[in-house]
Amino acid sequence: MANSKYEYVKSFEVEDEVMFPNLIIIHIDSLDFSRFSQVHKFEKPNDETALNLMNSCASSVLEEYPDIVFAYGYSDEYSFVFKKTSRFYQRRASKILSLVASFFVAVYVTKWKEFFPHRKLVYAPSFASKAVSCASIEVLQAYLAWRQHDCHIGNQYDTCFWMLVKSGKTLSETQEILKDTQKQQRNELLFQQFGINYKMLPALFRQGSCLFKTKVEETVKHDENGNPVKRLRRRETLVHSENIAGRSFWNEHSSLHKDLGHFAKEIGKIEPDYVKSFQFESRLLPLTWVVVRIDGCHFHRFSEVHEFEKPNDEQALKLMNSCAVAVLEEFQDIVFAYGVSDEYSFVLKNKSELYKRQSSKIISAIVSFFTSTYVMRWGDFFPHKKLKYPPSFDGRAVCYPTSDILLDYLAWRQVDCHINNQYNTCFWMLVKSGKSKTQAQDYLKGTQTREKNELLSKQFGIEYNSLPVIFRMGSSVFRLKMQEGVTEENGEVSGKQVEAEVVVDFSNIIDPCFWQQHPHIL
């Protein structure tokens, strides 16, 4: 089976490099935070523990990706700024924005227990992320001023809002009272009605949090005479600063102007055109089939550390499948998914209007929901194995104009599954039989399908086609459409759509018969 017949589908992938010298910011923001905070009983208007958890996750992000040199966050959002010379993942926007959201949410789920030891995480959280490019340091300065301004305005409004509600007003009365109020009026309301001096509220709530690295002198050891040996180390610092876009704050920290540049002037009014560019979201072509393909980041290492069976770990694959089922249950517009190894492709129906077809939002929502489900369900599939570190996935979206090309895309992935699985089965059998990895590689070089099958059968008594179908075919996930006959009052029988069950299947999806048997999928 030659893969080249289908490989043309790769040419539909588009480049999305953030061109040098634009600065890269990744902005992440919890999806439907009002529901999440309500279900998890967060304090209003600010839950200090939830904010500390956000800060702790952001700190892990800085540790994981050394190119991120500054982060600012408040409420349910965080912005991560990459150093100007960064070449991280060739500056590909989708890859970077999905990885950051995925890693962030994986840490969020992992650390939940540490911050909320007595509260169960009820459902898998997800974050939307996007890449913002800043043409110059002045634009970055405006971005930071904008975010901190929103933090301030939002927090002041929410503080008034919840004080009024707690004092007995209904939600709509409160909205009416606060409508069109100015900053000064809200401060007065807080002071006069509730005795609250807004300025005295915790800086964490009013100003948000900044994270960056500073150089500090640390004692690393003592010499033979007992004298301390000191080294300059980069240490992470968390501060709540009044004006992060101000020159005095920025220029005070040498690491910031070295990695990003100086703030030359104080910022006045925030340029509306800049804000427009920060809010810009590019959209996927209408009426095309959208495939969001996610792939485990460094799963070679992840599978080694977690001692996955070679070449296939059935439990690991079942965990992947269970997350894919959850994704289909969460996103009604996803009609089909195909998974193999550490990757999954999700197909959105061509008419989908999910998130107004905003590409970053679609990718990040799927990747982060998949990742948090993976971490939450790990214990169900590996009850005796601890998750040693948070996994992450990257994602991309590709548009296919016709269902025929979409089917070629899926065929491309299934052929890949077949080629890799057959190769890996031979490779690991040879290694298990005593060959070194290089010997096994040399042995297999240039062999065709038939020769590999013969090797398995003659040397190891394995009939390739009798291996578990999940390994050979990969996994397909889709809804079984069930129609229920309902007799209406007038005696007519009409078809009523009931909640369709999401199933996992291991069919040959290259064979047109599969699609004929399930005509409702596409």
Binding residue for ligand GTP, selected from 208, 246, 296, 395, defined by CB under 6 A: 296
Site for ligand GTP, residues 127 to 146, rule: CB under 6 A: none
**Binding-site partner at residue 330 among ligand GTP, Mg ion, none, CB < 5 to 8 Å by type:** none
Q: Which is nearer to ligand GTP, 297 or 376 (CB)?
A: 297
Amino acid identity, position 517 = Q
Task: Look up residue 317 and give its DSSP letter.
Answer: H
DSSP string of 377-437? Answer: HHHHH-TTS---S---EEEEEEEESSHHHHHHHHHHHHHHHHHHHHHHHHHHHHHHTT--H
CB 391 to ligand GTP: min, Å? 10
- Mapping DSSP onto H, E and C, the string for 256-281 reads HHHHCCCCCCCCCCCCHHHHHHHHCC
Contact 115, 56 (CB under 8 A): yes
CA distance 75 to 157: 13
CB 106 to ligand GTP: min, Å? 14
Q: Stretches 130-138, 212-220, 278-286, 305-313: which one binds ligand GTP (CB under 6 A)?
A: 305-313
Q: In what order do the strands lie in the sheet with 209-222?
A: 127-134, 23-30, 77-82, 68-74, 209-222, 228-239
CA distance 333 to 220: 55
Binding residue for ligand GTP, selected from 113, 298, 432, 496, defined by CB under 6 A: 298
Helix (H, G, I), strand (E, B) or coil at 76: coil
Position 246 contacts ligand GTP (CB under 6 A): no
> CB neighbours (10 Å) of residue 76?
20
Residue 184, Cβ density class (10 Å: 0-12 exposed, 13-18 middle, ≥19 buried):
exposed
CA distance 23 to 132: 8
Locate 289 and state its tokens.
């089939």
CB 319 to ligand GTP: min, Å? 10
**Binding-site partner at residue 44 among Mg ion, ligand GTP, none, CB < 5 to 8 Å by type:** none
Q: Which is nearer to Mg ion, 297 or 430 (CB)?
A: 297
CB 423 to ligand GTP: min, Å? 11
What is the maximum alpha-carbon separation in the chain? Answer: 99
Contact 101, 394 (CB under 8 A): no
**Binding-site partner at residue 300 among Mg ion, ligand GTP, none, CB < 5 to 8 Å by type:** ligand GTP
Element spanning 144, H or E: helix 137-166
Position 94 contacts ligand GTP (CB under 6 A): no
Position 372 contacts ligand GTP (CB under 6 A): no
Position 148 contacts ligand GTP (CB under 6 A): no
Site for ligand GTP, residues 335 to 354, rule: CB under 6 A: 341-342
Q: Stretches 37-45, 226-234, 289-297, 485-493: which one binds ligand GTP (CB under 6 A)?
A: 289-297
**Rule CB under 5 A: which residues touch Mg ion?**
295-296, 299, 342
CB 388 to Mg ion: min, Å? 17
Position 475 contacts ligand GTP (CB under 6 A): no
CB 108 to ligand GTP: min, Å? 21
Q: Stretches 155-163, 168-176, 300-308, 403-411: which one binds ligand GTP (CB under 6 A)?
A: 300-308
Q: Stretches 11-19, 52-60, 293-301, 439-447: which one binds ligand GTP (CB under 6 A)?
A: 293-301
CA distance 206 to 351: 43
Position 276 contacts ligand GTP (CB under 6 A): no
Q: Which is nearer to ligand GTP, 241 or 312 (CB)?
A: 312
Position 319 contacts ligand GTP (CB under 6 A): no
Say which residue the tokens 């991560």 belong to.
80
Q: Which is nearer to ligand GTP, 423 or 515 (CB)?
A: 423
CA distance 369 to 124: 6
- Helix axes 183-194 and 137-166, enclosed angle (nearest 10): 30
Position 310 contacts ligand GTP (CB under 6 A): yes
Binding residue for ligand GTP, selected from 79, 303, 359, 360, defined by CB under 6 A: 303
Q: Which is nearer to ligand GTP, 72 or 299 (CB)?
A: 299
Minimal CA–CA distance to 16: which of 399, 400, 371? 399
CB 343 to Mg ion: min, Å? 7
Q: Which is nearer to ligand GTP, 40 or 310 (CB)?
A: 310
Binding residue for ligand GTP, selected from 299, 331, 374, 409, defined by CB under 6 A: 299
**Binding-site partner at residue 377 among Mg ion, ligand GTP, none, CB < 5 to 8 Å by type:** none
Contact 127, 30 (CB under 8 A): yes
CB 299 to Mg ion: min, Å? 4
Task: Look up residue 358 and give its DSSP letter.
Answer: B
Say which residue the tokens 């933090």 belong to.
151
CA distance 296 to 394: 7
Q: How many residues interact with ligand GTP (rule CB under 6 A)?
A: 15
Helix (H, G, I), strand (E, B) or coil at 80: strand
Position 295 contacts ligand GTP (CB under 6 A): yes
Position 300 contacts ligand GTP (CB under 6 A): yes
What residues line the site for ligand GTP (CB under 6 A)? 295-300, 303, 308-310, 312-313, 316, 341-342
